[in-house]
Amino acid sequence: MIPTPDLSHLTSRDFDKVYEPAEDTFLLLDALEQDEKHIQAQKPNVCLEIGSGSGCVTTMLAKIVGATNAVFFTTDINSYACQVTQRTGRYNHVSTIESIQTSLVESLLPRLSHAVDILCFNPPYAVTPPEEVGSHGIEAAWAGGIDGRQVIDELLPFIPQLLSPQGIFYLLLINENRPTEVAEIMRTGYNMQAEIMMERRAGRERQYILKIQRPV
């Protein structure tokens, strides 16, 4: 078992500015750990986390992948989150994280076209007024607009362009995001294989991990 990354270097002041890992974060970590052997066998070269926040997920992924030549890219619209992601990596002896301040994958294409072997996204999924979407502060971590889907739906068309032939996308959703509908969009609209690999209740939320990849 790979331990959860140590975040003891972060303080309440940091979590005033970036999303503090919670049940959704840990569900995504559990999904990666469940697929640990498959991820290692795949020998990923390029990993990408969108909306890295504290850097907890990418740091965990780097520990799973192990000592290889893999490169770990992260993006976040919040510049402070990019700094914190770097700090978390260094604190946990991961030096291969490159953090980029950008919206979703705006600055990464076409550079990473068909190159991403592991893609992770814990999106802003909360149902909020549409005008709350797009903040550059901590609100960007949760404000998902109508059905909590505005940011998610903005990203989906880029998935076939991002993923390598063997690439896997781990996407966290809640019930209000209609995960079965998202899976169907990926299947019928983008010819991708999509399945709910894990689900868990966290308080009033039911959270899901959708696993998306090219058809075998």
Q: Is residue 49, in this structure, part of any structural domain at all?
A: yes
pLDDT tens across 38-51, in order? Answer: 999 999 999 999 99
Q: Would you give the DSSP letter of residue 140?
A: G
Q: Which CATH number characterizes residue 80's domain? A: 3.40.50.150
Residue 201 lies in a domain: yes
CA dihedral 49, 212, 68, 77 (to 10 degrees): -10
Domains in the chain: how many in total? 1
| Interval 83-104: pLDDT, tens | 999 999 999 999 999 999 999 9
Domain membership of residue 4 (yes or no) is no
Domain-embedded: residue 56: yes
- Whether this prediction's pTM lies above 0.85 is answered by yes
Range of the domain at 209: 12-213
The whole-angstrom separation of Cα 192 and Cα 209 is 16
Tell me whether residue 164 is in a domain.
Answer: yes
Task: Establish if 7 belongs to a structural domain.
Answer: no
Q: Which amino acid is at 211?
A: K
d(CA 156, CA 160): 8
* 8 A C-beta contact, residue 42 and residue 117: yes
